Every structure is written in structure tokens, then in C-alpha cells.
Amino acid sequence: MEAMAEPVLYHKLQIWEPSMESEEEEEETSEPLVPCPRGPQAAPGKAGGLPGAWARLLAALLLLAISCSLAVRHLAGRAGSTGSVGSTAPPAGGHSHRAGVYHHSALISPAATCSNLGRELLTTGGNVVDAGVGAALCLAVLHPHATGLGATFWGLFHNSSSGSCTALTPGPAWPLGPGLGLPTALPALHLLHARFGHLPWPRLLVAPTKLAQEGFVVDAPLARALAAQGAKGLCPLFCHADGTPLGLGARATNPRLAAVFRRAALATTPRLAGEALLSLLGRDLGLEEPSTGPAPTLEPALQLSMPQGVLFTTPGPSAGPELLALLKAAIHSRQPSPDPCPSLPQAVRTPVSSILATVDSSGSMLLLVSSLNSSFGSGHVSPSTGVLLSNLVASSATSAWACPLILRSSLDDTEADVMGLVASGTPNMAGAMTHALLSHLSGPPSQMQHQHQAQRGPTESPSTCSQGTLLQVAAHAEHAHVSSVPSGCCPFQGF
């Protein structure tokens, strides 16, 4: 691959998707959303009209202007709160963008409910960390097959103010019991929020607690996982009265999990947040004093400088070091990118993972990836907590499913483009991410091509992987961009 010094231009990756994404024109309008009728014109006649006529005319025009303004705000608010794929509500400036492009910030996740929650946190004063952590706690309720309070979390946070990148690391895998991994989700998310969040910690737990207590609708990913897993170990939470697994559209509740959330909301430190769950799990497992094990940490991200910018990823035991080694070798050798879907023995099983990403127009972004290792982890619900523990223990400590990646086009330019990638479901995560990034960098479009692409909307090429999900977020041209491969797999929201 030829090294290039030009700045990185935002465009969607060309991998994995069997179908072509619909191309939507970006619309620029100068007309108001609700046409306001013209005010009454002064009638020709004598200058000295009836007494008070001008005052009445001005009052009528003022009331008309206020009515028009309220109508515009009402319609814009309704447009921003609807849609399962993404919000495209026009901003106050009177123009709109294609789906996935926003003026301020956005979030993309596997569940529409959690993406909506992320948008709500963003619009009520939260930052990308608040939105990402809140959505992750939401997914812990809605997608217990892929993530949860028993899961292991890796994260990558880019701070646009400092230009630095910080990795959230869970610490070495630690057994809580035979075949059961120590849960580190609550202390990890609390630590991330305490360092970089803005809203109060209890605020992030309000919606997840309500979903667990009052119920949520089983969506397609959870329904498929339940059908494949069967009812063993998951009843009564995810089963009908006759013992069969819940199906698509059924309603589920998890009041024990809601109680854990309420206890965690009172925690003032990451350690106390972890103990809110661990003490109850110890009772279930017959452990007098469960070991807390290694604590999650925040540390500088690994980085690799290249002509196109600086790459950041997570340290070991994630797949981040492997990812940077593959990228460095490919860049130096100028050889084609490695096969993103190598042939693997049938015995090799891809760990199930969950991903989400959030970004703002200044370039701050958070990428989160979590896993219970297998689908539903240990496969047994803790009676006191409603939590599924992972089966990720010391023997499976290398997190080959985790290697979120951030590319910043310049460390010196405060307005540099920033792009983030996070993927799940591939047999060789580092290889797939290497292929994705090199495809992105191999041929930056000319200025004319880039302008044409910005008008038409990015496209995707035919699939190279039959299974896999990739989320891409970017800050470009003072806008926040979100997209997924395959397109439409992951709902997004923003404003």
C-alpha cells in the first residue's frame, strides 16, 4: 500500500455487506418547516388611519410570529423522537442531512431502545461517556445473551479537548467459581463514568432500572438467541409459563436485576459498585467472602503513528496488540490486507460479543465492546440478582473479540477528523479490522470524488464475511457521523 500524507477524509468502509446501502441525497433547504402566512399589508389610504390601528397590526404580527415558531419547534421535536433506525430531525438552521449525520452527537447500538436512551442522555446535558455507559447498562437488560453485568468490558475513549485516547481495561480474567468468570461490568463502567462522565451516576441507571422492573419487549437478536439456547437454566426470567423460551415480541421482566441497579446507584466508588452485585452472588454460590480479583483500570491506549494519522487501540490481553502488529506489517510491506475471514476449523467457536459507539461533532468518541464469552455465558441465571455470569475465566483470558480502533488524522490539529471502528462476530477480529482499515486508507478519493460521495451518501461493496457487525463513527466537517455494516443492523439516534 502506498503511504500517503493527505488528511484522512471520512467515508464508509467497503466490507462485509451483501446488499448495497440505499443512497440518500442530502437536502439543503432555506424554507421554514411550517410556512407562515404573510402578515396583513398596510392598506393604501391616508396616513392618519383609525386610532390604534398600527398598534393592533403590530400585536397581530407578533402573535403570528410566536405561533409559527411554536409550530416549527413542535414538529421538529416530533421528528426527532420517532423512527427506529435514526433521527433525522432538521436543526434550527433549516436544513437536513442524510440518515446518520448529525450536527451535535449520536449513538449507535444493537437495540433501538438503548440508542433512544443514549440520545436522551445526550440531549439532557450528557456527554459521549454518559450516553455510552447508559446504553451499555440498557443492553445489559435487553441483550442478556451477549452482554450484562456479568460481562467483561473493554473500551476506548478519545478526548477531543486533549487529543488523547484512554483505554478501559477489565484486568486479567478471574474465576469466581468453577467455570464462572468474575463480573467486572459495574466497576468498569462506574470507573469510566467517574473519570470522564458529566451527569450524576444515578441518572444513568434510571432507565435501565425501569426496563428491568416494568418489562421490555424481546427483540429479534434476543429471540434468536433464546431459540438456539433453549430454556435450560434461563427460566423463569426468559420462559413462558409452560417452560418454552420467550419469542419475538414477548414481554420480559427482571426485578432482581432492577434491585441490583438500585443498589449500584448508591455506590460512590467503582469498588462499591462492584460489591453491590458481588455480595449477592456470593450468597447464591455459597461463598462466605467472594474474592474481588483484579480491578478494572484506565490507561493510555496503544498507538501507532503512520502517514495518514495516529491509530489507537486497547492493550493486551485484548486483540489490540495483534491488530497493530498486522497493520504495521501490512503498511511496511505494502502488501494487500490479510484475508478478513480466514478458514478456521469447525471446532473453533466465535465468542459472542456486544458493541456500541457514540460520538460528538468535536471528535470525542467512546467505543465499547463486551462479552459473556459464550451465548448467555454460563447459561444459568443467578437467583438473587437476575444476572448471567460469563464463562470467561483464566483459561480463556485472551480477549480476541476486543480491539476497538480509533484513527485521528493529526495530533496537532484540534479540528482533525477522527474515525472509530468497533466490530463483533468475526472469526478473526484483528484480521477483519486490519482489512477494514486498510480498505479505508488504500485509496482516498480525490476532492471531486469526495464531494460527489458526500452528496450521494457512502456505498458499501459486496460481502466478504457472511457474519459480522461493524460500527463506524466519525467526526468530520463539524458533524457527527454514524453507520453500520450491514446497514440497518444497528439502530442509531442523534441530534
Angle value at C-alpha 379, between 374 and 383, nearest 5 degrees: 140
State residue 453's pLDDT score.
38
Say how far apart CA 186 and CA 201 lie, in whole Å.
11
State residue 99's pLDDT score.
87
State residue 141's pLDDT score.
98
Neighbouring-strand partners of residue 105: 360
State residue 96's pLDDT score.
58
State residue 64's pLDDT score.
52
Contact 222, 143 (CB under 8 A): yes
- DSSP code per residue over 461-478: PPPS-SS-EEEEEEEETT
Task: Take residue 471 and report the three cell numbers written for it.
Answer: 460500527
Say how far apart CA 37 and CA 25 lie, in whole Å.
29
Find the radius of gyration of the CA atoms of the chain.
Answer: 25
Angle value at C-alpha 243, between 239 and 246, nearest 5 degrees: 30
Contact 68, 76 (CB under 8 A): no
CA distances from 419 to 12, 122, 195, 362 (A): 10, 19, 22, 12
Contact 358, 106 (CB under 8 A): yes
Residues in the chain with pLDDT values less than 50? 1-51, 62-63, 66, 69-92, 340-348, 444-466
Residue from 236, 249, 212 nearest 138 by CA: 212
State residue 362's pLDDT score.
95
State residue 94's pLDDT score.
53
Mark out the alpha helices in 362-428 (DSSP H runs). none
366-397 pLDDT tens trace? 999 999 999 999 999 999 999 999 998 765 56
Does the CA dihedral 294-300-304-309 come out positive or negative? Answer: positive
Say how far apart CA 365 and CA 30 lie, in whole Å.
31
State residue 462's pLDDT score.
31
State residue 210's pLDDT score.
98
261-279 pLDDT tens trace? 999 999 999 999 999 999 8
DSSP-derived letter for residue 388 is B
Q: Which residues are CB-contacts of 301 (< 8 A; sequence separation ≥ 6)?
A: 156, 165, 166, 167, 312, 313, 314, 315, 406
Q: Cell numbers 498486522 correspond to what residue? A: 326
State residue 38's pLDDT score.
35
